[in-house]
Structure formats: structure tokens, C-alpha cells
Amino acid sequence: MQAAFNAAALVLSSTLAYKFAHLVLAGSGSESPLVCVILAGSIYFPLNSTLVAIVIGLVEGQPLKLVGAHCYPTMVLTYVYFLNRAHRPLPAMMLPSASEEEYPAEVRT
């Protein structure tokens, strides 16, 4: 049951974050991937945390405010970590354009 909820929460949060980011960017004319990621993250983390808090509250019989107060610090720290990592470039081997000729994998025996 938990795996189904996790999958549903991931799909719902990701879809709404994606749609929100592209809706905002379409109106502004900006096509910056960094801005898109930050906008999507600004929706994804709070929405996903809210869904988790609702389910925890329902399962444990606790009020949403109390569960939210427990989840909020973790969500803020996760979002700050995400923003800190979002502006850093990926290593060359993780980029889709990197080929094996440019960055051969080292094999040690």
C-alpha cells in the first residue's frame, strides 16, 4: 500500500510542478532550465510534503497541523539542499551529450 501511495504522490507532485513551471515560463518568455527547475521544485517539495503529512495524520490519527509542524523543518532543509545543488553543473560524464570517446570509462582489474 505504501509503494502505491509513494508512486501516486510522486506522479501527482511531479506532474503539477512540471505544469506549473511551464505555465509560468510560457507567460514570461524565459526558457532557462535553471529557472524551470527552481519553479518546479518550489511546487514539488511543499506539495509532496503536504500529501505525506495528510497520510501520516490519517494513519496515526493526528491533526494535520501537528504532523505538518513535524514535517516542515525536514521539507525546508530538503528544499534548501535542492536549491544549493540546482545551480551546480553536472559532471561531464552525466551529461547526455558526453560520449565514451570523450570520457572513456576506466576499468581496473
CA distance 92 to 16: 30
pLDDT at 98: 47
Instruction: Please check whether residue 17 is in contact with residue 40, taking contact to mean a CB–CB distance below 8 angstroms.
Output: yes
- CB under 8 Å to 8, separation ≥6 — which residues? none
Interval 75-97: pLDDT, tens: 677 767 766 666 565 554 444 55
Tens digit of each residue's pLDDT (9 = 90 or more) over 46-75: 888 888 888 888 888 888 788 877 777 776
The predicted pLDDT at position 93 comes to 47
Give the percent of the chain with pLDDT over 70.
Answer: 72
Whole-number Å distance between alpha carbons of 66 and 21: 30
Q: Is 75 exposed, middle or buried (0-12, 13-18, 19+ CB in 10 A)?
A: middle
**pLDDT of amino acid 82:** 67
